[in-house]
């Protein structure tokens, strides 16, 4: 017997163990989405499109990496690292299969704020010979990347914290109009930040509230210092880029090859710059020395963490929001699902870990993700392949980028933002669907332009919530149409005569503090109209009814002026609470108040389809009459109860007669 | 003819004029509620109860005026003025007939903050002979009242601004639990501020975050400096007050006279203090010199306005909230209505105008309002009569208050706050009705205790909104029960066979960004369950149906595994949108997405009872199929449309056969 028992016990243990293993496996699959798609990866079908996509992506990663590193006010080489490490981390933890993480314009813009504040250009009193020994970069550059990496580190920590707090479920607060307006506004900021390169102007770093307008004011004041060579080159680059991309888009189906115009432009202009020696002849700004290879691992500057907390929050939220929107869009397009919370983890880790490798804050970029779509990438393998190419650039081709003119880089960035800026077209859609969402869009855009992306985002979310709170109390709380239908239905079923005073009203809203007042007013209105119409109707057959139904009436029928709301103890009122799925204290107290008011006016209120929690909450009050039950399982049982009540009083009447 | 025309014209003019007069009259009645009740005032019936109430109120106004002026850190005499002017203004503009405005503990506590910060006790380097000439008060005292009056002035301006902005309609955000917790917390603060008088201790002014705990820490550290005489007198006063008031309450019906125990206590202790010369013998703190008469009109100290803005907001909001709660309660009790916005005007003006008469911030107090109830006051005439008595005190009896011991005054205040402190009992009610509202109460109370009343109020409102926002998406969005009922109903009406695939679902919630995701998930679940059950059901009569209904089917019936969600072009789905009274962009886009998804899966979605604005918003999208109408006036017409469609395809089928 004991042997059997032991066997049974071990079997149970085994089951528990197996269960645990299953759990751990499921947990791993949930937290490491790479395990899910990598194990099912179809090498034959997917490797070739992924490899092509990866190559195209690498080109964009390199150009954007350089450009966004400059935008972050750090040395361009750090943009290359930023295009490598976050991509690997996101491929492991991220759920978006077509999401290309890496350097991102908006987060770069935010972290530039911290860099310029804590390590301003004026503090560069080191000579170029004063190198820190790391890749031959000056100490000034190392200080700057230290701050940018600190922003990335803290931003990532914030994102991971939000993952732990399950704040991914709060993303429903970020509505499409707000995200669209914020990203459009931020893209406008990025374009503004590139204007100085496009015009070849030397300009101080301007930021802060209304900095947007100060930048343009500065440009118009110093319009004479525009470098014509740079301006011409920028215009040429922009025209070429836009044209070729448009043509690519148009003839995509016919030629099936996408011309990597970015790469062509970079090579062409770099060569032109080198052979014409534009850097010295025209004084054209170029990218400059890019060191080869990678620096050893180093922690970000931790003692500035407390000073970059605003920027870290900005990076964490703006980066997450923009990336999530892209992940959701690609999930919708290619029919897979994305978990809001897991994305917090993925982006958090791809900010925290790379910050030890001299990386600037990262996020998914719209341009690159669109590229993955159009080049037919299937999985994150495309991104991983792009990493190999970027490694090649870092170790071998970096120095060749020396002669790339900054204005060409700026042109590439500006053209890359086309998609975001085109969101202006959404305005028409919002105007047609909901004017209020339209005004939220416009005001969020204005806030983003005047202040910053994170301020705009905060404003948009708060504004959306506030507007909803003030719209909510105005919504109708009761279905009148359903009432009529239900009434009609029951008329045919039961005794028509005695049921015309029973009104059935459906509650079709949550009953909370926001709309409790409106609910009260609506219901009182219905009750009053009800009584008024009853009285009008009653005038015809009042006589008959009085003798039939009213046990208190003396049978006489001489025009009694009924001032009392319901004189004959025969009004009843059924509230169908099946729609009342959410309530709070204010809601319950309004419901109780209505019940008491009606009781004082001789109107019976019966509640049907109440949830158990609602019944419990209402029964707590001592005022509820215990003589008659008021909660019913369904409308028909409530009608039945009224019926029985009436028959009983009729019976009494008859027996008296 | 022209004469007739002229006559007609003049008649029209007269009508317009009359209409305007009527408008002006209505406007006056709305803005000056005194015109409404004063013209109908029944002198015979109401004057005597009002006069008695007024006398009793005057006693309380005087004691509370002195006490709350001390609480405001200004000279006691200003409390007497504060019991006079605001009362007159409120009587003209206020709608609450039983609301006794005047000095108020919570607003006094807030304005004390500004007074102690801007004119600290240490700045009193004037000798007492250095009088400002106004009523023989020192310049120090005049500076202090200047600041308090400035807080009152700015607070009133804020209230009037809120009236202009119609923010009275935003009071639904102030839920009962929040108001209850905030007032209880503030009452706890007031009691704490009186402890030093009750114990007869000298103590510095302590405020700021956690000041509440520092005060008790200070008291326990200096417990030895407690003045035993003061402590005994306080205990005696409190016991007498509580006992007599309890007895009064108990035997109110029998003896019908309320013993003005406050007055008796004041007279008795003042006399005792005078004859025993306690001020010098025991060092007992007394009220001291109170000047006779009234000072000339003087503007508050305007140059400190920018420095008291926080306190002004606190006074404006806390005062308004507490007063409104009282006004609403009395309106409910005596069946008249109170306009939230008009109350903003009334309280605003009773802060602005009296601030020129050396008044501290005012509001309605619970204790005094309860007194008006219990003494049977009918209208604001009671309050106006109390003003006459207060005038007498100001001009004749002020100096007699010299010997009133401070500890007695403190006892009266503490006992007066009993009602507010008793709100702790509400906790049980909230626990039973809604646990979340219970926790809002507790956390708001803790915030009020740790910080201040205005911080607590802000926290409570924000917390209520946030919690609602996170509760909202969890509420059910669709009525399933109604679906079944409606289905059943139509089954009996129409051809049973062809209608079993038609599902009717009611939307019973607003469809906004908060719950759009949940709505989508709910609906998809219903559709899938629907299909699954259909498939199970279909297995029996699939054969017959296929041949009958599906024009594409080849008539064969050999177990096709239906992976496709709806293979036979016969699924339909009616969404009853009568409950959908509120929507935004996110809601509409979810609805459109569902429509598109269903269309791709061969499911027809028909919308019934849509509002015109919803139809317009949905039609904007180009994706809506124009081949079939999808909007119907009612559920039955939608069912009819499906019916016709099917008969048509049946007919096709038959004719083919």
A462-479 pLDDT, tens digit per residue, is: 999 888 888 877 777 666
Q: Cα distance from A514 to chain B (closest Cα, Å)? A: 6
Taking only the tens place, the pLDDT of each residue in A535-557 is: 444 443 333 333 333 333 333 33
A465 contact residues in B (CB cutoff 8 A): 465, 469
CB-nearest partner of A177 from B173, B470, B585: B585
pLDDT digit string, tens, across residues A2-32: 566 666 667 777 777 777 888 888 888 888 8
Lowest mean pLDDT among A117-126, A545-554, A578-587, B132-141: A545-554
pLDDT band at A564 (very low <50, low <70, confident <90, very high): very low
Taking CA atoms, B279 is separated from A76, A223, B104, B197, in Å, by 81, 81, 28, 14
Residue identified by tokens 């029973």 is: A502
Q: What is the mean pLDDT of residues A418-444?
A: 87
Residues of chain A in contact with residue B474, where contact means CB-CB under 8 angstroms, are: 582
Give the pLDDT mean for B52-81: 88
What integer pLDDT is reported at residue A4 of this predicted model? Answer: 63
Closest to A161 (Cα-Cα) out of A284, A303, A312, A59: A312
pLDDT digits (tens, 9 = 90+) for A64-85: 888 889 888 898 889 999 999 9
- Rounded Cα distance between B511 and B513, Å, is 7
Average pLDDT on A40-63 reads 86
Average pLDDT in the A268-294 region?
83
Say if residue B187's pLDDT is above 70: yes
- Tokens coding A640: 């039945």
Cβ <8 Å between B582 and A430? no
Residues A509, B469: C-beta atoms closer than 8 Å: no
CA dihedral B311, B314, B316, B318 (to 10 degrees): -150
What pLDDT was estimated at residue B657? 45
A389/B521: higher pLDDT: A389
Tell me whether residues A506 and B609 touch, CB distance under 8 A: no
- DSSP alpha helices (H): ranges in B72-138? 77-82, 85-93, 105-118
Q: Which residues of A touch B468 (CB under 8 A)?
A: 512-514, 584
Rounded to whole angstroms, the Cα distance separating B89 from B101 reads: 9
CA-based nearest residue in chain A for residue B473 = A172
List beta partners, residue B405.
B286
Q: Which residue has the tokens 């007992």?
A: B284
Does the distance separating the beta carbons of A465 and B510 come in below 8 Å? no
Question: Does residue A297 surpass a pLDDT of 70?
Answer: yes
| pLDDT at residue number A204 | 85
State the burial class of residue A215 (Cβ atoms within 10 Å of its Cβ: 0-12, 13-18, 19+): buried
> What DSSP state is assigned to residue B355?
G
- Give the pLDDT confidence of B421-468 residue by residue, as tens digits: 888 888 888 888 888 889 999 999 999 999 888 888 899 999 998 888
- Least confident range from A379-383, B466-470, B646-650: namely B646-650
C-alpha separations of A415 from A76, A240, A262, A408, B568 in Å: 19, 10, 10, 11, 48
* Gap from B490 CA to chain A (nearest CA, Å): 11
Question: Under an 8 A CB cutoff, do B468 and A512 touch?
Answer: yes
What pLDDT, on a 0 to 100 scale, did the predictor assign at position A543?
34
**Hey, what are A228's tokens?**
């014509």
Kindly report the nearest CA distance between residue B122 and chain A, in angstroms. Answer: 37
Bigger pLDDT: B208 vs B480: B208
User: Between chain A and chain B, how many beta carbons pairs sit less than 8 Å apart?
Assistant: 134
Per the CB < 8 Å rule, is B433 touching A588? Answer: yes
* Best of A171, A172, A427 to mutate (most B CBs within 10 Å, chain B): A172
Whether A170 and B470 lie within 8 Å, measured CB to CB:
yes
Shortest alpha-carbon distance between residue B603 and chain A (Å): 19
Examine the pLDDT at B567 and tell me if it is beyond 50.
no
Three-state secondary structure string covering B472-526: HHHCCCEEHHHHHHHHHHHHHHCCHHHHCCEEEEEECCCECCCCHHHHHHHHHHH
Q: Which residue of B has its CA nearest to A636?
A: B485
Sort out which chain A residues have CB atoms less than 8 A from B509's CB and list them.
508-510, 579, 581
CB atoms within 10 A of CB A601: 14
Classified as helix, coil or strand, A9 is helix
The token duo for B540 is: 């029996």
Q: Is there a contact between B581 and A475 if contact means CB atoms under 8 Å apart?
A: yes
The helix/strand/coil state of A132 is: coil
With a cut of 90, say whether residue B238 has pLDDT above it.
yes
Quote the radius of gyration of chain B (alpha carbons, Å). 35
Q: Is A469's CB within 8 Å of B465's CB?
A: yes
Judge whether residue B507 has pLDDT over 50: yes
Transcribe B150-208 into DSSP letters: HHHHHHHHHHHHHHHTTGGGGGGGS-HHHHHHHHHHHHHHHHHHHHHHHHT-------S
| Chain B interface test: which of A180, A460, A468 (most B C-beta within 10 Å) | A468
Evaluate if residue B71 carries a pLDDT over 60: yes
Q: Min CA distance, B172 vs chain A (Å)? A: 6
Report the distance separating Cα A286 and Cα A464, nearest Å.
44
By Cβ distance, the residue of B172, B429, B584 closest to A517 is B172
- pLDDT winner (highest mean) among A621-630, B118-127, B221-230, B479-488: B221-230
Residues of A in contact with B433 (CB under 8 A): 585, 588-589, 617, 620
Which of B482, B485, B519, B565 has the highest number of chain A CBs within 10 A, making it the mutation to test binding with A?
B482
Residue B362, classed as helix, strand or coil, is strand
Closest CA to B557 of B573, B568, B571: B568
Q: Within chain B, what is the greatest distance between any pair of CA atoms?
A: 120
Q: Which residue is listed with tokens 């933890």?
A: A93
Which of A239-243, A249-253, B543-547 bottoms out in mean pLDDT, i.e. has the lowest? B543-547
Which of B390-404, B496-510, B610-624 holds the top average pLDDT?
B390-404
Q: Say if the Cβ atoms of B175 and A583 lie within 8 Å.
A: no
Cα of A631 to nearest chain B Cα, Å: 17
User: What per-residue confidence (pLDDT) applies to B132?
Assistant: 59
pLDDT in tens, A136-160: 788 888 889 999 999 999 999 999 9
Q: Report whether A508 contacts B579 (CB < 8 A).
A: yes
A25-41: per-residue pLDDT in tens?
A: 888 888 888 888 888 88
Interchain CB distance below 8 Å, A581 and B476? yes
Given a cut of 70, whether residue A568 has pLDDT beyond it is: no
- Predicted TM-score (pTM) of the model is 0.77
Q: Do B585 and A437 touch (CB under 8 A)?
A: yes
Q: Which residues of A touch B489 (CB under 8 A)?
A: 489
Chain B neighbors of A583, CB-CB under 8 A: 434
**Residue from B440, B468, B618 whose CB has the most chain A CBs within 10 Å, to mutate:** B468
Mean pLDDT value across residues B39-53: 84
Cβ distance of B432 and A506 shorter than 8 Å: no
**Cβ-contact B241, B262 below 8 angstroms:** yes
Which of A482, A589, A632 would you mutate first to test chain B, the one with the most B CBs within 10 A?
A482
CA A591 to chain B, closest CA, distance in angstroms equals 12
Ordered domains of chain A (ranges, CATH): 46-121+137-199+297-399+430-471 (no CATH), 475-484+501-526+570-652 (3.30.750.24)
pLDDT at A214: 92
Structure confidence at residue A561 (pLDDT):
33
Taking the CA of residue B531 and the nearest CA in chain A, the distance in Å comes to: 20
Average pLDDT over residues A578-604: 81
The answer on pLDDT for B499 being more than 60 is no
Please indicate whether, in this complex, the C-beta atoms of A620 and B433 are within 8 angstroms of each other.
yes
Is B475 close to A581, i.e. CB distance below 8 A?
yes
Distance from CA of B156 to the nearest CA of A (A): 25
> Which residue, among A170, A175, A430, A433, would best test binding to B if mutated, counting the most B CBs under 10 Å from its CB?
A433
**Predicted local confidence at residue B287, as pLDDT:** 83
ipTM of the complex model: 0.74
Per-residue confidence (pLDDT) for residue A540, from 0 to 100: 37
pLDDT given for residue A444 in this prediction: 94
pLDDT, mean of residues A342-351: 92
Shortest CA gap A613–chain B (Å): 9
pLDDT at B530 over 80: no
CA distance A289 to chain B (A): 49
Quick one: average pLDDT of A197-222?
A: 88
């Amino acid at each position: 017997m004991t042997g059997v028992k032991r066997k049974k016990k071990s079997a149970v243990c085994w089951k528990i163990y197996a269960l645990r293993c299953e759990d751990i496996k499921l947990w791993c699959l949930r937290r490491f989405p790479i395990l899910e798609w990598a194990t099912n990866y179809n090498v034959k079908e997917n490797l070739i499109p992924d490899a092509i996509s990866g190559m195209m992506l690498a080109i964009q990663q390199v150009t954007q990496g350089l450009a966004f590193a400059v935008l972050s006010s750090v040395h361009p080489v750090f943009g290359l690292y930023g295009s490598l490490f976050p991509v690997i981390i996101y491929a492991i933890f991220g759920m978006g299969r077509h999401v290309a993480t890496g350097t991102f314009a908006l987060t770069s813009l935010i972290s530039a704020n911290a860099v310029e504040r804590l390590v301003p250009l004026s503090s560069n009193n080191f000579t170029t010979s004063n190198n820190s020994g790391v890749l031959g970069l000056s100490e000034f550059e190392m200080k700057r990347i230290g701050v940018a990496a600190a922003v990335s580190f803290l931003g990532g920590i914030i994102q991971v914290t939000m993952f732990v707090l399950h704040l991914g479920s709060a993303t429903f607060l970020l509505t499409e109009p707000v995200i669209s307006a914020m990203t459009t506004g931020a893209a406008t900021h990025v374009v503004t930040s590139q204007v100085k390169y496009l015009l070849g102007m030397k300009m101080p770093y301007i930021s802060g509230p209304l900095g947007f307008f100060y930048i343009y004011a500065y440009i118009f004041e110093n319009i004479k210092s525009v470098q014509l060579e740079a301006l011409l080159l920028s215009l040429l680059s922009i025209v070429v880029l836009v044209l070729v991309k448009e043509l690519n888009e148009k003839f995509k189906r016919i030629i099936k090859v996408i011309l990597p115009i970015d790469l062509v432009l970079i090579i062409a202009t770099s060569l032109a710059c080198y052979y014409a020696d534009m850097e010295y002849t025209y004084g054209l700004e170029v990218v400059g020395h890019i060191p080869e290879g990678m620096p050893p691992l180093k922690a970000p500057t931790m003692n500035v963490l407390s000073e970059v907390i605003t920027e870290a929050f900005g990076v964490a939220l703006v980066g997450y929001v923009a990336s999530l929107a892209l992940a959701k869009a690609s999930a919708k397009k290619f029919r897979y699902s994305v978990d809001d919370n897991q994305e917090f983890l993925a982006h958090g880790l791809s900010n925290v870990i790379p910050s030890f490798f001299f990386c600037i804050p990262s996020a998914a970029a719209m341009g690159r993700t669109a590229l993955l779509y159009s080049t037919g990438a299937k999985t994150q393998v495309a991104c991983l392949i792009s990493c190999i190419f970027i490694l090649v650039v870092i170790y071998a081709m970096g120095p060749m980028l020396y002669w790339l003119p900054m204005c060409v880089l700026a042109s590439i960035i500006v053209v890359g933002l086309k998609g975001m800026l085109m969101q202006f077209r959404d305005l028409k859609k919002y105007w047609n669907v909901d004017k209020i969402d339209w005004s939220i869009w416009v005001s969020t855009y204005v806030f983003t332009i005047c202040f910053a992306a994170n301020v705009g985002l905060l404003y948009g979310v708060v504004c959306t919530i506030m507007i909803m709170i003030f719209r909510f109390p105005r919504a109708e709380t009761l279905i009148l149409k359903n009432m009529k239908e239900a009434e009609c239905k029951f008329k045919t079923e039961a005794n028509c005569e005695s049921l015309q005073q029973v009104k059935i009203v459906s509650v079709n809203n949550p009953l909370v503090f926001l709309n409790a007042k409106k609910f009260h007013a609506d219901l009182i209105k219905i009750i009053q109209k009800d009584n008024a119409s009853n009285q009008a109707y009653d005038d015809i057959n009042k006589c008959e009814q009085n003798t039939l139904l009213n046990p208190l009436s003396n049978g006489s029928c001489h025009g009694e002026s009924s001032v009392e709301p319901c004189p004959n103890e025969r009004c009843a009122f059924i509230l169908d609470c099946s729609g009342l799925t959410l309530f709070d204290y204010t809601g319950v107290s309004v419901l109780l108040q209505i019940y008491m008011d009606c009781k004082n006016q001789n109107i019976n209120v019966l509640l049907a389809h109440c949830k158990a929690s609602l019944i419990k909450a209402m029964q707590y009050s001592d005022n509820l009459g215990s003589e008659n039950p008021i909660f019913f399982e369904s409308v028909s049982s409530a009608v039945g109860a009224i019926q029985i009540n009436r028959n009983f009083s009729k019976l009494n009447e008859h027996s008296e007669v």
